[in-house]
Structure 1
Amino acid sequence: MKKSYHIQNAPFVVPTTDGKVIEEHWGRATDGNQEISIAHMVAPSGWSEPFQTPEFDEYTYIIKGKKQFIIDGDTVILEAGQSIKINKNTRIQYSNPFDEACEYIAICTPAFSPDTVHRED
């Protein structure tokens, strides 16, 4: 009998060069799912990404630490226990300018793709 569930024991660890840990539990890289991606992330102190304008909605839930978002010119800082939804086609920059690592869960719909994140150079 086919099971109606699947436990993820081996998330895809995305290679990075900036010290950020990305474990995709569900999504394009892990199971080919193009509708949603769910990733556990740890952003080290001092980490930042370039501005981007993704073609997907992104939900972020902060587990530990703080994370800074610059969204259409507004600076938003989230702490553990807080979450945010950022609508697709919104210009945003993610960073952790704080003294401790930030651990969080990110959910993207449709699933994250390097081709649809549109990071600026």
Structure 2
Amino acid sequence: MKKKYTIQKSPFVVPTTDGKLIEEHFGNSTDKNSQISIAHMIAPSGWKEPFQTPVFDEYTYIIKGKKQFIIDEEIIVLEAGQSIKIEKNTRVQYSNPFDLGCEYIAICLPSFSMDLVNREGV
């Protein structure tokens, strides 16, 4: 009988050059799932990404620390216990300009893909 569940014990650690830890538990890189990606992330103090306009909805839940979002010129700061949904085709910049690292969970629908993120200047 085929199991109707999957336990993820070895998430894919995405190689980065900016000190950010990305552990994809489910998604394109881990189990070839193009419908959803779920990742555990730790963004170090001073980290930031370029502006981007992803072609996926992204949900973020903050576990520890703070994370800054710039959405349509509005600066939003989330703290531990808070969450946000950013709809696809929204221009956004993610960063952690704070003194401590930020630990969070990100969920993307459909799954995160570099082909769908549309980062500026990359």
1:97 aligns with 2:97: yes
1:3, CA displacement in angstroms? 1.0
1:44 aligns with 2:62: no
Aligned partners of 1:61 and 1:35: how far apart in 2? 19
1:13 aligns with 2:10: no
Aligned to 1:109: 109
- Summarize deviations over 1:2-47 as a string: whole Å, max 9, x none: 1111100010000000000000000000000000000000000000
Aligned to 2:26: 26
- Summarize deviations over 1:50-71 as a string: whole Å, max 9, x none: 0000000000000000000000
Aligned partners of 2:115 and 2:6: how far apart in 1? 28
Q: What residue identity is the alignment partner of 1:19?
A: G
| Corresponding pairs, count | 121
- Summarize deviations over 1:49-108 as a string: whole Å, max 9, x none: 000000000000000000000001100000000000000000000000000000000000
Aligned partners of 1:70 and 1:84: how far apart in 2? 12
Aligned partners of 1:97 and 1:112: how far apart in 2? 24
Aligned to 1:86: 86
Scaled by the length of structure 1, the TM-score of the pair is: 0.99
Aligned partners of 2:94 and 2:60: how far apart in 1? 11
1:48, CA displacement in angstroms? 0.2
Q: What residue identity is the alignment partner of 1:56?
A: F
Q: What residue identity is the alignment partner of 2:94?
A: Y
1:110, CA displacement in angstroms? 0.3
Where structure 2 has 5 or more consecutive residues not aligned to the other structure, the ranges are none
Scaled by the length of structure 2, the TM-score of the pair is: 0.98
Q: What residue identity is the alignment partner of 1:4?
A: K
Aligned partners of 1:3 and 1:34: how far apart in 2? 20
Aligned partners of 1:84 and 1:52: how far apart in 2? 17
Question: What RMSD over aligned residues (CA atoms) do the two structures have, in Å?
Answer: 0.4
Q: What residue identity is the alignment partner of 2:45?
A: S
